[in-house]
Structure 1
Amino acid sequence: WKQIFTQHDTDRSGLIDTKELTMCVQQIGYRVSPQVIDAIALRYSSNSSKQIPFDDFVAAIVRMRALTDSFMALDTQRSGVVQMEYDQFLHLCYQF
């Protein structure tokens, strides 16, 4: 992931912004909305700049992978949609 991060850190600041994060996430193989990218940037940036350092990028991708794996386990028909009870949703969220 370091190579991907460095490749898309076009200004060599050691931080990636939302545009660069989008490129990284796509290269890893995820297709997510701009709203998800924005939420990730807000969650993993140290301030409101929405810029993420490498260590936090890794944490974000590890979490995305874990959440995706959990989603895929529930999406048995591979439709991109799951139905779950509220309690199951909370359990899933609090695992991460």
Structure 2
Amino acid sequence: MHRYKGTLTVAVLQERPLADEEIEELREAFTEFDKDKDGLISCKDLGNLMRTMGYMPTEMELIELSQNINMNLGGSVDFQDFVDLMAPKLLAETAGMIGLKELKDAFREFDMDGDGTITIEELKHAMLKLLGENPNRKEIEAVVREADNNGDGTVDFEEFVRMMSKN
């Protein structure tokens, strides 16, 4: 696959906010460990909570978290702090799972004139906007050629999905 494909996939996904279901999953887990219902969990409980959610933090990670929590958060974590700590882990876990909504949103970003296809110029503009890179025309043509299954010189949504979903 062309060198830009993985970078484009990451650029499309990295800005994704946590989904409502993910926040609800975090809330349920947090509530379970908030024994005295004061909206806070102790630093010690954080490691156990992470383990029940399937994350296996190393002792070093727990020490770093603990130091951060003790210095910045008074020795305990409220729900928002917990979300802030866990969001990167959840997003990293789901980075390989691109949903149809994310693909449609990304396709709309690339398809600037809304005609249902991505041209070489649109892809070049999108890469500059998303990646801050200005690849040369030959590189862009190679990406389009690789994705363009029907040979019309553009990338339609089906081709875009196939391109973004390839390993």
Give the TM-score, by structure 1 length.
0.57
Match of 1:7 among 27, 32, 36: 32
Query: Which structure 2 residues correspond to residues 17-32 of structure 1 after superposition, within 5 A?
Result: 17-32=42-57
Q: Which amino acid aligns with 1:38?
A: I
Question: Larger radius of gyration, structure 1 or 2?
Answer: 2
Q: What does residue 39 of structure 1 align with?
A: 64
CA deviations over 1:59-89 (Å, ceiling 9, x no partner): 111122345678xxxxxxxxxxxxxxxxxxx
Question: SS where residue 59 of structure 1 aligns?
Answer: helix
* Alignment length (residue pairs): 71
Query: Which structure 2 residues correspond to residues 43-62 of structure 1 after superposition, within 5 A?
Result: 43-44=68-69, 47=72, 49-62=74-87
Task: Please tell me the root mean square deviation across aligned C-alpha atoms, in Å.
Answer: 2.7
Question: In structure 1, how many angstroms separate the alpha carbons of the residues matched to 2:73 and 2:84?
Answer: 18
Give the TM-score, by structure 2 length.
0.35
Contact 1:44 1:56 (C-alpha < 8 Å) held by counterparts: no
Question: In structure 1, how many angstroms separate the alpha carbons of the residues matched to 2:79 and 2:73?
Answer: 17
Question: In structure 2, how many angstroms separate the alpha carbons of the residues matched to 1:65 and 1:27?
Answer: 14
Question: In structure 2, how many angstroms separate the alpha carbons of the residues matched to 1:20 and 1:53?
Answer: 12
Q: Which amino acid aligns with 1:35?
A: M
Question: In structure 2, how many angstroms separate the alpha carbons of the residues matched to 1:25 and 1:45?
Answer: 17
Question: In structure 1, how many angstroms separate the alpha carbons of the residues matched to 2:28 and 2:85?
Answer: 16
Q: What 5-or-longer segments of structure 1 have no aligned partner?
A: 71-96
Greater RCO structure (CA 8 Å; 6+ sep): 2
Once the two structures are TM-superposed, the CA of residue 31 in structure 1 deviates from its matched residue by 0.8
Q: Which amino acid aligns with 1:6?
A: T
Q: What 5-or-longer segments of structure 2 have no aligned partner?
A: 1-25, 96-167
